Chains A and B, each alone.
Chain A
Amino acid sequence: MKAGLEVHQQLAVGKLFCACPSELSDDIEGSFVRRLRPASGEDQAVDAATAFQASRGFRYRYEITPTTCLVEVDEEPPHPLNAEALEVALTLALLLEARPVDEIEVMRKIVVDGSNTSGFQRTALIATDGHLDLRGKRHSILSICLEEDAARKIAEAHGEVTYRLDRLGIPLIEIATGPEISSGAEAREVAEEIGALLRATRRTRRGIGSIREDLNVSAEGGQRIEIKGVQELRMIQEYVDREVARQEVLLRVRDDLRQRGVPVPGTELTDVTSIVPPVSSGPLSASARKGGPVLAVSLRGFAGLLRSPPGTDERLGRELADQARAVGLRGLLHSDELPGYGLGPHDVERMRTTLGLGPSDAFVLVASDDRARIAAALHAVVARAAAALEGIPTETRDPLPDGRTRYSRPLPGRDRMYPETDIPPIPVSSEHLARLAAHLPERPADLRERLARETGLPAELIRQIVSSDRVDPFEGLIRAGHSPALVARVLIQDIATVPHPEGEPEPEFSVGVLEAVLRAAADGTFAKEGIPAVLAELARGAADVRTAAARAGLTGLSGAELEALVDRIVRANRRLLRERGREAFSPLMGDVMREVRGRRDGQEVAEALRRAIDRLATDESPPS
Chain B
Amino acid sequence: MTGSESGDPWEMLRSLPMGQRVEISDGAGHTWTGTVVPRHEFSGERILPLKIASGYNLGLRIEPTYTVRLLEPARSRTRAAGPPTSTERAAAAGARHVALLTTGGTIASRVDYETGGVRPVKEEREILAFYPDLEAAGPVRIVPVFDRLSEDFTPRDWMTLADHVVAAFGRGAIGVVIAHGTDTLAFTAAALSFLLVDLPGPVVLVGAQRSPDRPSSDGPSNLAAAVRVAREGGFGEVVVVMHDDLSDERFAIHRGTSVRKMHSSRRDAFHSRNGPPLGHVDGHGIRFTEAPRRPASGPPRVDGPLDEKGGLLWFYPGIAPERAAAFAEGLRGLVLAGTGLGHVGTQHLDWIRAAIRQGLVVAMTTQCLDGEVDPFVYATGRELQRAGVVYLGDLLPETAYAKLLWALGHGAGAAEVQALLLADVAGEFRWRRQPGAPA
Residues of A at under 8 Å CB distance from B? 32-40, 42-46, 50, 54, 70, 73-77, 99, 101-105, 107-110, 112, 117-120, 123-125, 128-129, 143, 145, 413-419, 421, 424-425, 427
Cα distance A43–B209 in the bound complex, in angstroms: 23
Most buried by A among B53, B55, B79, B212: B55
Query: Which chain B residues border A102 with CB–CB below 8 Å?
Result: 44, 47, 58-61
Specify the chain A residue showing the minimal Cβ separation from B78.
A45
Known: A39-B214, A416-B55. A421 touches B246 (CB 8 A): no
Chain A proximity mask over B213-243: 1 for CB below 8 Å, otherwise 0: 1111100110000000000000000000000
Residue B432, interface by CB 8 Å: no
- Choice from B58, B111, B216, B267 contacting A421 with Cβ under 8 Å: B111
Residues of B at under 8 Å CB distance from A? 26, 30, 32, 37, 40, 42-44, 47, 49, 52-61, 77, 79-80, 111-113, 116-118, 129, 209-210, 212-217, 220-221, 245-249, 265-267
Q: Does B215 lie within 8 Å of A36, measured CB to CB? A: yes
| Least Cβ–Cβ distance between A94 and chain B, in angstroms | 14
Cα distance A44–B212 in the bound complex, in angstroms: 13
Q: Does A414 lie within 8 Å of B55, measured CB to CB? A: yes
Cα distance A105–B79 in the bound complex, in angstroms: 25
Query: Which chain B residues border A70 with CB–CB below 8 Å?
Result: 265-266
Query: Which chain A residues border B55 with CB–CB below 8 Å?
Result: 107, 109, 413-417
| Least Cβ–Cβ distance between A53 and chain B, in angstroms | 9
Q: Does A103 lie within 8 Å of B245, measured CB to CB? A: no
Known: A112-B215, A425-B42. A419 touches B57 (CB 8 A): yes
Q: Does B58 lie within 8 Å of A125, measured CB to CB? A: yes
Q: Does B59 lie within 8 Å of A101, measured CB to CB? A: yes
Cα distance A123–B216 in the bound complex, in angstroms: 17
Q: Does A77 lie within 8 Å of B221, measured CB to CB? A: no
Cα distance A427–B58 in the bound complex, in angstroms: 10
Cα distance A1–B26 in the bound complex, in angstroms: 33
Q: Does A32 lie within 8 Å of B245, measured CB to CB? A: yes
Query: Which chain B residues border A36 with CB–CB below 8 Å?
Result: 215-216
| Least Cβ–Cβ distance between A136 and chain B, in angstroms | 21
Q: Does A414 lie within 8 Å of B53, measured CB to CB? A: yes
Report whether over half of chain B's contact residues are helix, strand or loop; otherwise say mixed: loop
Query: Which chain B residues border A103 with CB–CB below 8 Å?
Result: 43-44, 47, 49, 58-61
Q: Does B267 lie within 8 Å of A425, measured CB to CB? A: no
Most buried by B among A37, A77, A118, A145: A37
Known: A36-B215, A425-B43. A42 touches B248 (CB 8 A): no
Specify the chain B residue showing the minimal Cβ separation from A415.
B55
Known: A33-B247, A35-B221, A102-B47. A125 touches B216 (CB 8 A): no
Known: A102-B47, A425-B47. A45 touches B80 (CB 8 A): yes
- Choice from B32, B61, B116, B214 contacting A118 with Cβ under 8 Å: B214
Specify the chain A residue showing the minimal Cβ separation from B221.
A35
Q: Does A33 lie within 8 Å of B249, measured CB to CB? A: yes
Q: Does B40 lie within 8 Å of A425, measured CB to CB? A: yes
In the assembled complex, 15 residue pairs joining A and B whose CB atoms fall closer than 8 Å, in A order, are A32-B246, A39-B212, A42-B111, A44-B80, A50-B215, A99-B26, A104-B58, A105-B49, A125-B52, A128-B32, A421-B111, A421-B116, A424-B116, A425-B47, A427-B44
| Least Cβ–Cβ distance between B174 and chain A, in angstroms | 27
- Choice from B215, B221, B265 contacting A119 with Cβ under 8 Å: B215
Q: Does B79 lie within 8 Å of A424, measured CB to CB? A: no
Q: Does B213 lie within 8 Å of A39, measured CB to CB? A: yes
Not counting A34-B216, A99-B30, a sample of 18 additional A-B residue pairs whose C-beta atoms are within 8 angstroms of each other reads A35-B221, A36-B215, A39-B214, A43-B77, A102-B59, A103-B47, A105-B59, A109-B55, A110-B215, A118-B215, A125-B57, A125-B58, A419-B111, A421-B112, A421-B116, A421-B117, A424-B40, A425-B44
Query: Which chain B residues border A415 with CB–CB below 8 Å?
Result: 55
Q: Does A74 lie within 8 Å of B216, measured CB to CB? A: yes
| Least Cβ–Cβ distance between B108 and chain A, in angstroms | 14
| Least Cβ–Cβ distance between B400 and chain A, in angstroms | 29
Query: Which chain B residues border A38 with CB–CB below 8 Å?
Result: 215
| Least Cβ–Cβ distance between A580 and chain B, in angstroms | 72
Query: Which chain B residues border A34 with CB–CB below 8 Å?
Result: 216, 247-248
Query: Which chain B residues border A76 with CB–CB below 8 Å?
Result: 265-266
